A = this chain, B = another copy of it.
Amino acid sequence: MASAVVTPAFIEAIRARLPDLRLLTEVADRESHRADETAYLPTGLPGAVALPTETAQVVELVRICAEFDVPIVPRGAGSGLSGGATGLEGALTIAFTAMDRIVEIDRDNLCVVTQPGVINARLKAAVAEVCLFYAPDPASFEMCSIGGNLGTNAGGLCCVKYGQTRDSVLSLEVVMADGSLIRTGGKNLKDVAGYSLTHLIVGSQGTLALVTEATLRLRPAPPARSTLIAFFPTLSAAGDAVAAIATAGVSPATLELMDRFTIRAVDDMHGLGLDRDAAAMLMVESDLPALAADDELARAEAACTGAGATTTLRSRDAAEADLLRQARRAAHWALERLGEVKMEDVAVPRSRVPDMLRAVEAIAARHDVRIGTFGHAGDGNLHPDLVLERGDPNNERITKVVQADLYRAALDLGGTVTGEHGIGSARVEWLEAQRGPDAIRVMRAIKTALDPQGLFNPGRVLP
């Protein structure tokens, strides 16, 4: 495993071999690359921060790090929720912020070639200008980068219809730990030549390869969305509605859930007039053409009513639909107004969503803590947000025990400790409990084969 740190000789080598590279060595600059959005995790201060603009610079940085045995932390926009890109003490952080060119929008082949530093929302906007659609939409899409999305195989609201980030990747250009540069594919929709390095590297959080360019799948822009919201007297009823929507063959663009605690926090923040006494709310969006959307939402509404919804409402226009969607996206920030928030990311088989929601309630009661749960019910991915008193010295301890209970509950239901945020460093000690020692050994063998010095983001993903 790599064990050296950034030294003056290392800095000197970078400056000599990459005179045009922006390299940050001041403490203040390094500090600003220390943390991500998992504020409660321990972090290290990077020994230096490199901001390459071109692939060739990344190749050379990797070679220099190999020579000096210095670990590399690849970093996107710093909005991660798993401690996957937080600083390692004395290591080199490569921030891909400045590799932010959209290289090509290929309308004929419905794909875009982009550098990894491009912010998700900017990519969406750029392709929307030519009536195309990039589907993956993490709640943080206005601040997260494509490179980070690739690292974590990021999800979001509309994965229930369009899949996670991996499902939109046609090809990657990556730098391997030995400094070689590989293109894992092309613009082909089908290609079975050899192992799919594309699929393996997406979601590996920079531990196997550094992504320097990606070719991503686009779709023709769908119509503006229509929205249905439904309120339920019990969590079970909401869970039944989710199942009924899926088994009815309705395939909405989003299928989101909020529990009572979250409904109230969102309503306090946005004054939307939500049903504050409901146990749960579902938000269903359709992006089909007008008449088909009406039909789709009518079927979803029937499923909700059949499952016991007390109230259902449809957005009257695009502005109202936008407002509802923004409210859901802002759930985490609404909860953040109430205290120090720790967001979790469990997922379970869809039929177990009601069980998971009940387990969260029981865990909150057992530890006498506040937990607001919201998330992507349509694909079984829930974000229980632990809301703690700010500055309470017990917070770290409470967080630990509540997390453990949540993870154990998810695993007992056949679920996962992370649906879309990643193992990073936050959940690394749970990977073996979920996957088992044999699977870890296989993952470790792949890691060692591709990065024998252990230079790429050590300690992340794998224990």
Instruction: Give me the interface of A with B, judged by CB distance under 8 Å.
Output: 106-110, 152-153, 155, 159-160, 163-164, 166-167, 176, 180-184, 186-197, 199-200, 202-204, 208, 219-222, 243, 246-249, 292, 347-351, 376, 379-381, 414-423, 427, 430-431, 434-436, 438-443, 445-450, 461-462
Also in contact, A183 and B348, with CB within 8 A (given A195-B200, A195-B203, A380-B188): no
Among candidates B188, B203, B380, B447, residue contacting A416 with C-beta atoms closer than 8 Å? B188
Q: Are A419 and B449 in contact (CB under 8 A)?
A: no
Given contacts A181-B438, A191-B347, A220-B247, 12 further A-B contacts (CB under 8 A): A153-B196, A166-B199, A180-B438, A192-B203, A193-B434, A193-B435, A194-B423, A194-B439, A194-B461, A195-B200, A195-B203, A197-B443
Which of A380, A417, A462 has the most chain B CB atoms closer than 10 A to its own CB? A380
Cβ–Cβ < 8 Å partners of A221 in chain B = 249
State how many angstroms separate the Cβ of A127 from the closest Cβ of chain B. Answer: 13
Q: Are B194 and A246 in contact (CB under 8 A)?
A: no
A195 to B187, CA, bound (A): 24
Also in contact, A249 and B219, with CB within 8 A (given A108-B243, A181-B438, A183-B436): yes
Q: Are B195 and A379 in contact (CB under 8 A)?
A: no
Cβ–Cβ < 8 Å partners of A434 in chain B = 193-194
A166 to B220, CA, bound (A): 24
Taking CB as reference atom, which chain B residue is nearest A160?
Answer: B189
Also in contact, A423 and B193, with CB within 8 A (given A182-B439, A442-B182): yes
Taking CB as reference atom, which chain B residue is nearest A208?
Answer: B195
A220 to B250, CA, bound (A): 9
Cβ–Cβ < 8 Å partners of A186 in chain B = 349, 414-416
Q: Are B349 and A443 in contact (CB under 8 A)?
A: no
* The 6 nearest A-B residue pairs measured at CB: A220-B249, A199-B199, A108-B351, A449-B449, A187-B349, A190-B419
